[in-house]
Amino acid sequence: MLNPQQSFVGPLLAWHEENGRHRLPWREPGRSAFEILIAEILLQRTTAASVSGAYLPIVARYPSPETVVAASPEAIERRIAPLGLAKRAEFIRRTSQQLIARHSGDVPRRYADLLEFHGVGEYTARSVLIHAFDEDIAAVDTNVQRLISRFFDLPPDSGALPHLADALAPSRRGSDFQHAMLDFAADVCTARTPQCETCPFGEHCRSSERAV
């Protein structure tokens, strides 16, 4: 009988230790919950490579909600301009205002509270809980959805996927697991040309993609 922890989670974490994108700046140890929230907002529908160059100057200048609120909207937009998504500046500004008004400037640990912020959806809220507060849950985007659906041979739109992803998250390693899924989906289990011949999951992957 297939043991998901041995056949999926373990090999995935081992692959990530050797091959993961550990140098992404928002993954550095010691990042505050607010800095992680900023990263997750910037990463919405944007590649990690695109955000990487803009992230450090942004959090260096605006390390807290108070510094964001004190700045002019135009100044924040200029720093986010390299991403080509000025709308994120408004997300960050309004979310910072809400953090101060409702939570004394602290990022809350409750999922329902995070969902109340401007520009924060289910994936972003879950990612903050995982990476800022060490929650042993998963956040499912199209990349994670593709990886899990292929390995377990489930329809990509299956409602079981989010629950399965949560169940797979290993105790005290939720952040590593989430990063591992994202990195593996980006580098190996890609949308169009999955590298099945070098996949560490070997015979355990149930997906018909292995035959491609």
Active site residues: 40
Distances 143 to 41, 61, 123, 189 between C-alpha atoms, Å? 17, 31, 12, 9
The stretches of the chain forming alpha helices (DSSP H) are: 4, 10-19, 33-42, 48-61, 65-70, 73-80, 87-103, 111-114, 122-133, 142-151, 160-168, 174-187
Contact 51, 85 (CB under 8 A): no
SS3 annotation, 5-33: HHHHHHHHHHHHHHHCCCCCHHHCCCCCH
